[in-house]
Structure 1
Amino acid sequence: MLFFFRTHYNLRRSSEALTMTKLLFPILLFMTYGCTAHANVGIGAVAASDEFVIKLSVLNVTSDTATIGYRSLPANRPKSYGDFLAIWQGRMIPWRAPPLARITIPQDTDSGSVVLSGFTLANLDYVVGYGTGPAISTIAASVPIPPVTGESAEGGTSTANPAPGQPGSSVTMTLASQTSEALAVRYATLPGYQPASYGNWIGIWPGQMSPYNAFKPLACADVPSDANLGTVAMNGLSLGAEETYTLVYFTGPAAPASDGKAAPGCAAAWSDGGQTPDTTQAAAMLVFQTASRAGAQQPVPSK
């Protein structure tokens, strides 16, 4: 009798264990393959990022000069690439009007200061722009000069910095979303700027790339809209986990127009097989590292 009860008890436990295994098996499969699939989607997630933009500051203003400090992208050579500063009357750049004065930056340092002259300032708003190449359409940063508030020691007007609440503006770029196969890049240019008409484009390179010594990008995309704020899609990528990549925003076309034709898009410029496209008109740069397979899928804000 004791043997019978023990046998019945063992059989019952085996049956319960089999039933439990049947119930847990699909869950185990999901945990194994479902999590792996989720991790593959997250390969392209961002672990960290650093953004570099062009910045201007007003150092000093008199009735006929403006001393402007600039900080461009790392390794830029402003004199060699035709970078310039220009000044207009107004609170934003009037893109189709000639400037009151303009000067090509006379040194090849990526940061420094320049004195603008050759004009007379009234008690009005003014704005200074920084161009990444010879054309006005390459302007990637600006800073306002508000109406004067006092007299300098030399008898001229002076203001040390833009008025509070009126910081300089820069072309910026952030990741809106990302997977290992695609990116959505959010951009912001200056007010009134027309990115598509001015040939703006974005490229992505592996590693920590310098736009001033560029090779063929993994992919590139022309900015499709003349809205100064928007998003650009980049598809067909294959980004690895825990890898570093560099995104660069350009305020000039990858190749100039020729024979009366419009400038080619960035993809056509890079696939032509001829001269290397122009990458010196770089306005913003974002260096980011993808997360591990288990990393979060949301971009980390720039430092």
Structure 2
Amino acid sequence: MPRLKLPTFGVGLVGLMATASALACGVLGGKGARDVQLHVEVASPSLEVGADAQVWTCALTITGSSGTTVDVSYVGPPGNQPHTFQNFVALWRASVVPWGVVPEARLTVPTDGETGSLVLMDVSITRAEYTTAYAVGPEVDDICASALLEADGSAGPVDAVTAKIVSLGADSLTVRYHTLDGYLPATAGNWLGLWRGRVSPYHAPAEALARVPIPQDVTDGDVDINGVKLEPDFPHTLIYFMDKDLKSAAVVLQFTPVAR
């Protein structure tokens, strides 16, 4: 069976079929022409994340300390209401969050500001390392950011949950995530949600393009989201959640797929 290679010229499948039919009639037609079947291959468009992408992550920083207090500043996702959603800050005498250990201090965020500052009081700070952590829900598994207080009283390294798109196709994407040291994202029920449009996690449509759980208890990894139809040149929102509750958003990524 002969195969005729056709240029796409940006037309759709119907246009290609019409072009193929015309070519068959014009090139192969005429007196005594035979019926010819044409095989047309249409490749899926190759996409990438547009330059207008925006990402919001949680953050925690130590701004001061004394022998009995630790001052911190926190940042949550846009639209977060930390007091209503029972966000909290906690402190341990440890170099990382010691999961499963009761903190030496814990304070629910007292206001509903997306960003703010608070003071952990009545703590005994000695010449040792202390870790503070910020959670976007009432459970320890909701912790999404941390900051270290060095033994000399200075502010040390900070860390936070992150997510980014590392590959993008017409019907799939791969997301690379990062969580804190020692965290178990699958056990905690972490998951990724994908919606079309500029979506708030706190008022998200019931119907999502995809809801994909983090499949393993690995602090850092890649997750494939397959079988989704991404609309080029229209905004989409990818959100990383710490538990099944939509209020537990830790990362919000808004992006527009564009043709390469």
TM-score (normalised: structure 2): 0.83
Paired residue secondary structure (1:70): strand
Deviation at 1:38, TM superposition (A): 7.7
**1:211 and 1:114 mapped to 2: Cα distance?**
25
What's the secondary structure of 1:197's corresponding residue? helix
Count of aligned pairs: 227
Matched residues in 2 for 1:227 and 1:197: separation? 10
Q: 1:77 and 2:81 equivalent?
A: yes
- The structure carrying a bigger strand percent of its residues is 2
Equivalent residue, structure 2, for 1:279:
246
Q: How many angstroms does 1:35 deviate by?
A: 7.6
Q: For the residues of structure 1 that align with 2:173 and 2:44, how far apart are their CA atoms?
A: 15
**Normalized per residue, which structure has more helix?**
1
Q: Is the aligned partner of 1:229 residue 2:220?
A: yes
Aligned mates of 1:186, 1:55 — CA distance in 2: 19
Q: How does 1:254-293 map to 2 (within 5 A)?
A: 254=244, 278-291=245-258
1:173 aligns with 2:140: no
Match of 1:258 in 2: none
Q: Where does structure 2 lack aligned partners over 5 or more consecutive residues?
A: 12-40
CA distance in structure 2 between the partners assigned to 1:38 and 1:176 by the alignment: 25
- Aligned positions of 1:244-259 closer than 5 A: 244-252=235-243, 254=244
**1:94 and 2:77 aligned:** no
Specify the alignment match of 2:231 in structure 1.
240
If asked which structure has higher relative contact order (CA below 8 Å, sep 6+), I would say 1
Verify the 8 A CA contact 1:72 1:110 in the aligned structure 2: yes
- 1:45 to partner: Cα distance: 2.3
Q: Which amino acid aligns with 1:137?
A: D
Partner of residue 210, structure 1: 200
| 1:121–1:38 distance in 2 versus 1, CA, 3 Å | farther
Provide the C-alpha distance between the structure 1 equivalents of 2:168 and 2:211, rounded to a whole number of angstroms: 15
Any gaps of 5 or more consecutive residues in structure 1?
1-25, 150-158, 255-277, 297-303
CA RMSD between the two structures:
1.9
Judge which range, 210-219 or 105-114, deviates more: 210-219
Q: Residues 1-303 of structure 1 correspond to what in structure 2 (within 5 A)? A: 29=5, 32-33=7-8, 40-42=44-46, 44-48=47-51, 49-148=53-152, 159=154, 162-163=155-156, 166=157, 168-216=158-206, 217-252=208-243, 254=244, 278-291=245-258, 295-296=259-260
Deviation at 1:140, TM superposition (A): 0.3
The 8 Å contact of residues 67 and 115 in structure 1, kept in 2 or not, is answered as yes
Task: Report the alpha carbon displacement of residue 41 of structure 1 after superposing the two structures with TM.
Answer: 2.5
Code of the residue aligned with 1:33 in structure 2: it is T
Q: Report the 3-state secondary structure (helix = DSSP H, G, I; strand = E; otherwise coil) of the residue aligned with 2:126.
A: coil
Secondary structure (helix, strand or coil) at the match of 1:137 reads helix
* Separation in 2, partners of 1:196, 1:38: 38
Structure 1 CA distance for aligned equivalents of residues 167 and 54 of structure 2? 16
Which contiguous aligned blocks of 4+ residues in structure 1 show a shift greater than 6 angstroms? 34-39
C-alpha contact (below 8 Å) 1:45/1:180 kept by paired residues: no
> Identity of aligned pairs, percent?
32
SS in structure 2 of the partner of residue 86 of structure 1: strand
The one-character-per-residue Cα deviations of 1:59-110 (angstroms, maximum 9, x if unpaired) are 1101111110011111110000000000011111000111000000000000
- Aligned mates of 2:103, 2:134 — CA distance in 1: 12
Q: Which amino acid aligns with 1:286?
A: L
TM-score normalised to the size of structure 1? 0.71
Q: Amino acid of the residue matched to residue 246 of structure 1?
A: T
